[in-house]
Amino acid sequence: METELAPRAEDFALARKLQWLALSLTPGVGAGRGRKLVERFGAIDRLFAASLTELEASGLPAAAAQSIASGKSLELAATEYDHLREAGAAIIAPEDAEFPSQLREIYDPPLVLYLLGNAEVINKPGIAVVGTRHPTPYGVGMAERLACDLAAHGLVVFSGMARGIDSAAHRGALNGHGQTVAIWGTGIDVVYPKENQRITDQILAAGGAIITEFPLGTFPAPQNFPIRNRLISGISIGVLVIEAGEYSGTRVNGSLRAGARQGSFRRSGERDEQDVMGS
């Protein structure tokens, strides 16, 4: 009897995962709207069982409602999932045990996470180390040293793997023989900046992980990075800022720690595109 039930449970879990992925790929549906939709219908499977009329009555744009009702969103999800498996990546849905508990508490949790590497490490306690793309030599040294010390004491180091302080933080964690997690503002198949392919490989080899909420093929558009920054801050138990300008993207992290869990997150870092790209 157990052998008959196990495949059914796995099929059910995969179906739910694909529904969350489909929702995230539906045009006009972001993290906030997607969560409200699931709450309105009571469960993700009820949302995908709803009629076009019910979906339109929920306030969804016509194109989004049509995509869900026609099955187009699920088709996109099935294709995306196949490509992810080919790339050695995975999808984590909010109902999965691997979904970071810290991210459940932020104002607008992601609908899904794309993962490369160790799923266990993203739930371990850690500190975000972030800062400018244009650090001084002193800043680089401090980022590496502090990240090394944090990793050596068993804390995961979270950062965005941008040039400058972020990359130094990842290197420091690796030098401390610890684990580090890079949170990207691109697709899981788009290394940015390109010269960080070596760091990516080292992170994975050391038992760390790469995560993002952006679909495969997503290029590094400036608007992605303030969105990404809320995950860096939200997944960590604290944020260590090293050499960040007044209007840098790092301010997004600070704003999030101060208010996102009360619903007051604003993308303040968008005022300076260059710094947003780097933190």
Cβ-based burial of 194 (10 A; exposed 0-12, middle 13-18, buried ≥19): exposed
- The pLDDT, as a whole number, for residue 7 is 55
198-230 burial, b at 16+ Cβ within 10 Å, e below that, comes to ebbebbbebebbbbbbbbbebebeeebbbbbbb
**Which element (helix H / strand E) includes 3?**
helix 2-25
**Which element (helix H / strand E) includes 212?**
strand 209-212
CATH numbers and ranges of domains, the chain: 2-86 (1.10.150), 121-278 (3.40.50.450)
127 neighbors 238 (Cβ within 8 angstroms): yes
- The pLDDT, as a whole number, for residue 263 is 33
Return left, alpha or beta for 128; rule: phi > 0 is left, psi -120 to 50 is alpha, else beta.
beta
Three-state SS at 236: coil
The label of the residue with tokens 């793997």 reads: 161
Rg (CA), the chain: 19
- The pLDDT, as a whole number, for residue 12 is 83
Provide block-wise average pLDDT over 10 residues at a time, the chain (279 residues): 54 92 96 95 97 96 97 98 96 96 94 98 98 96 98 97 97 98 98 96 98 97 95 96 69 46 32 38
Model-level pTM?
0.87
